[in-house]
């Protein structure tokens, strides 16, 4: 626990003072000039309205909106272009559906995120508090919005699919009126995962050229537990004389990212296997010894307080759910075996605790962490406190383009 507290005390002030996340990139201004430097890359659950740009780390930042620049590129993987024009304004997903067909539009200037590009068409996405919109652009043309409407009537929910009719025009124009593609439009859903593959086929792409939509990655590693068991409430009967026990821990799991480019907020599912052994002594000179092998499922919320492409510092709580097998359970005094008190007989095979973790990610590939937890898995008045140092390796290429067949 002291190691954990020391790590958090030293690093937390620096982490809280460094909220920006400037990454290499460039912007193309409305007059055609290109500025190379650093762009503050955020989670952007909704599309950015403004971006902060620095020519270098020593200069003050400038703010650009879609009215100032024509495009921006981050880390050679994330691209936005500016769009000014007509936007659909109806809500098209439950529960906030309009009553009756709503064709309301507004004029606006926004950033469009490029999801896929090819010889004929480029596909974009934009999100705001109203809805998620998709746009498609032919070469040397202005992007146009793909429209999907959903609304309520007296007899239920009705839908209108102008986006399918628009895609049928592109299939006729660029894919030789491919009847297989036209058939796919019948079951096509209005989301990026469905739209990107059919747009690629219209572009007649043999290899994938859209930015990875990977939202998760696997990890595996090992660690060292330092565990000590003591009596929660000392009395005349019990004394706490346990010597700290060091034991190995194996771990594997999956991280799910709110934004795979930024990875500031991570939902983690972790499986662990660990071994633990302890020996306690009572004031009556009796000994209690037990060993355990535990398998655990630990969902966690990880938040990167300081977050750059090469180094991130995080804090996060979890909920440990444990299944334990006990063995080598003994109760004896200095002379011989004695009857075990009832509260020591029934050690819980299923128990929970709340671990707290702090750690760092290095180059989005390696993870070093410290964790602390306090556990009670018996009706007996003792608790186990565990501090863990772990190393994990994160699998999967980072910030890549999909290039598989």
Domains of the chain: 78-202 (no CATH), 216-394 (2.40.160.20)
Look at the block and give the residue holding tokens 């026990």: 245
pLDDT at 403: 34
pLDDT at 393: 96
Centre a 10 Å sphere on the Cβ of residue 320 and count the other Cβ atoms it contains. Answer: 21
* 286 Cβ neighbours under 8 A, 6+ residues apart: 331, 332, 333, 338
pLDDT at 4: 43
Instruction: List per-block mean pLDDT (blocks of 10 residues) for the chain, which spans 405 residues.
Output: 45 49 89 92 86 90 93 89 95 90 94 93 95 94 96 93 96 89 93 93 72 74 87 50 79 86 86 85 66 93 84 93 86 67 73 93 93 78 84 71 34
Is pTM beyond 0.85? Reply is no
What number of H helices and E strands is found in the chain? 5, 22
With CA atoms as reference, report the closest residue to 289 among 256, 337, 350. Answer: 337
Tokens of 357: 């973790």
Tokens of 257: 């990212």
pLDDT at 78: 87
CB-CB contact of 200 with 208 (8 Å): yes
Rounded Cα distance between 212 and 228, Å, is 45
192's enclosing H/E stretch is helix 192-202
């Amino acid at each position: 626990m002291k190691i954990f507290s020391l790590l958090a005390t030293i690093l937390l002030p620096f982490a809280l003072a460094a909220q920006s996340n400037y990454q290499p990139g460039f912007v193309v201004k409305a007059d055609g000039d290109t500025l190379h430097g650093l762009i503050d890359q955020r989670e952007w659950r909704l599309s950015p309205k403004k971006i902060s740009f620095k020519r270098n780390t020593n200069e003050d930042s400038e703010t650009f909106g879609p009215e100032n620049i024509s495009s921006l590129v981050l880390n050679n993987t994330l691209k936005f272009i500016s769009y000014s024009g007509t936007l659909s304004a109806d809500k098209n997903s439950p529960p906030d559906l309009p009553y009756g067909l709503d064709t309301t539009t507004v004029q606006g200037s926004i950033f469009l995120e490029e999801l896929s590009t090819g010889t004929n068409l480029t596909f974009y996405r934009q999100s705001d508090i109203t809805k998620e919109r998709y746009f498609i652009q032919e070469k040397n043309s202005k992007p146009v919005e793909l429209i999907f409407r959903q609304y309520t009537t007296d007899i239920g929910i009705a839908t209108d699919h102008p986006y399918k009719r628009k895609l049928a025009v592109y299939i006729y124009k660029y894919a030789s009126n491919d009847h297989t593609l036209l058939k796919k439009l019948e079951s096509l859903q209005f989301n990026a995962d469905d739209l990107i593959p059919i747009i690629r086929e219209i572009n007649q792409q043999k290899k994938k050229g859209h930015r990875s939509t990977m939202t998760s990655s696997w990890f595996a590693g090992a660690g060292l537990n330092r565990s000590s068991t003591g009596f929660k409430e000392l009395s005349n009967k019990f004394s706490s004389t346990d010597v700290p026990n060091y034991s190995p821990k194996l771990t594997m799991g999956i991280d799910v990212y709110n934004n795979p480019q930024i990875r500031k907020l991570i939902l983690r599912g972790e499986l662990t296997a660990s071994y633990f052994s302890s020996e306690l002594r009572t004031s009556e000179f009796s000994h209690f010894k037990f060993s355990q092998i535990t398998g655990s499922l630990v969902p966690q919320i990880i938040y990167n307080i300081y977050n750059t492409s090469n180094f991130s510092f995080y804090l996060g709580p979890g909920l440990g759910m444990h299944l334990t097998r006990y063995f080598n359970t003994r109760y004896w005094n200095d002379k011989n075996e004695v009857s075990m008190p009832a509260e020591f007989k029934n050690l819980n095979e299923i128990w929970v605790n709340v671990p707290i973790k702090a750690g760092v990610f290095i180059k989005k590939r390696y993870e070093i962490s410290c964790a602390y937890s306090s556990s009670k898995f018996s009706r007996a008045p003792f608790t186990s406190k565990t501090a863990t140092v772990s190393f994990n390796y994160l699998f999967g290429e980072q910030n890549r383009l999909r290039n598989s067949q």
